[in-house]
Structure 1
Amino acid sequence: MVRVWGSSHGARPGRTREAPAPSPARSGPPALPKGVIMARNDLGSLLDGLLDQGGESDGPSGGALLGALLMALGDGSGGRDGNALSVLLDMLTEAGLAEEKESWIGAGENRPVTGAQILQALPEDTLKQVAEQTGVTPDRAATEISQVLPLTVDRLTPDGRIPSGSLEDAIRRQSA
């Protein structure tokens, strides 16, 4: 029940009345607790800055999708060592993408991955969660993530090491 102040519909000034319940029919992704939404948006914004993304698009940015994925892998807390990047990279290694992952961390050209490879590497429920939160299909989420992941890891590992500690702090250091 929501109480609002007002004098409309017969309520006396200074008193409260019940507001009508919101309509159960709604479109778009399911609502998340406020802290999770803010953290995901902050991480996605930081990733967009790292990748020089932004501006207008017809859907969520690659940074926003990758940010949602990292938050999902870290259960909103950032994962091991304060970030979920290690968790994600371990999943890629387990899925047979170790050479691709190492090319992003090391010097030289970044080897690409496909959306299909990302679909195989990630738990289905995690990718569905990311898709629902961002309003895209799991296939589109995987494709977008595959396009931004190599450059993201490359930029976060200029010294050839996966950053420890807060992922947000690592992104801020590289964006500065």
Structure 2
Amino acid sequence: MGLFDGALGDVAGSLLGGQGGDAQQMLGGLLKQFNGQGSSNGLLAAAMTLVQQQGGLEAIVQKFQAGGLGDVVQSWVGTGANAPVSGAQLEQVLGHDALAAVASQAGVAPAQIQEGMASVLPEIVNQLTPGGSLPANSGALINSVLGMLRG
């Protein structure tokens, strides 16, 4: 996985204005978090696709805040421990249709996507918000990582 980590770090570094060390750590953290969990690349790609389809990282944060889960999403953005979220809460905030569409694209049942997203989405938001703030270029970073995950 070393070559893959290096490639992700290089892309992230260029997107984050040459902060390659921070970017590599951010993406390496994502990959390490889900390493060895079966189809983790597929789940990461599905989660990033969901973020993209919802309008980006900023839109996800706003939807959680509007849905009464501002404290939960803020824990993901912040530098402390990530608060858990349930599949039902994800469906409440993001909508059944959005989760069903991602499940269909991934070829799994909506309940599986809810469960998977509940574990992956907090870590994605956490890793994409180093230092506790939303990056201005998260959309470009997500697009690049998606391209690499899909090979």
Match of 1:128 in 2: 100
Match of 1:87 in 2: 59
Question: Partners in 2 of 1:97 and 1:164 — Cα distance?
Answer: 22
Give the alignment partner of residue 102 of structure 1, picking from 54, 70, 74.
74
Question: Partners in 2 of 1:59 and 1:155 — Cα distance?
Answer: 16
Identity within the alignment, %? 33
1:150 aligns to 2:122 (yes or no): yes
Deviation digits for residues 54-77 of structure 1, max 9, x if unmatched?
A: 55726873312202212322xxxx
Change (3 A) 1:48 1:96: same
Give the alignment partner of residue 30 of structure 2, picking from 39, 47, 51.
51
5+ residue gaps, structure 2, are 1-25, 145-151
Which protein shows a greater Rg? 1
Runs of 4+ residues over 3 Å off in structure 1: 47-50, 53-56, 58-61
Deviation digits for residues 125-155 of structure 1, max 9, x if unmatched?
A: 2111111100111121111111012221111
Change (3 A) 1:99 1:59: closer
Q: Single out whichever of 52-61 and 89-98 deviates more from structure 2.
A: 52-61
Change (3 A) 1:159 1:134: same
Give the alignment partner of residue 159 of structure 1, picking from 124, 131, 137.
131
1:72 aligns to 2:53 (yes or no): yes
Deviation digits for residues 90-148 of structure 1, max 9, x if unmatched?
A: 11111111111111111221111111111111122211111110011112111111101
5+ residue gaps, structure 1, are 1-46, 74-78
Match of 2:19 in 1: none
Query: With CA pairs under 8 Å and 6+ residues apart, which has the higher RCO, 1 or 2?
Result: 2
Question: Partners in 2 of 1:170 and 1:161 — Cα distance?
Answer: 16
Q: TM-score, normalised by structure 1?
A: 0.57
Deviation digits for residues 28-79 of structure 1, max 9, x if unmatched?
A: xxxxxxxxxxxxxxxxxxx985511355726873312202212322xxxxx3
Counting matched residue pairs gives 118
Amino acid at match of 2:47: L
Q: Is the helix fraction higher in 1 or 2?
A: 2
Match of 2:42 in 1: 61
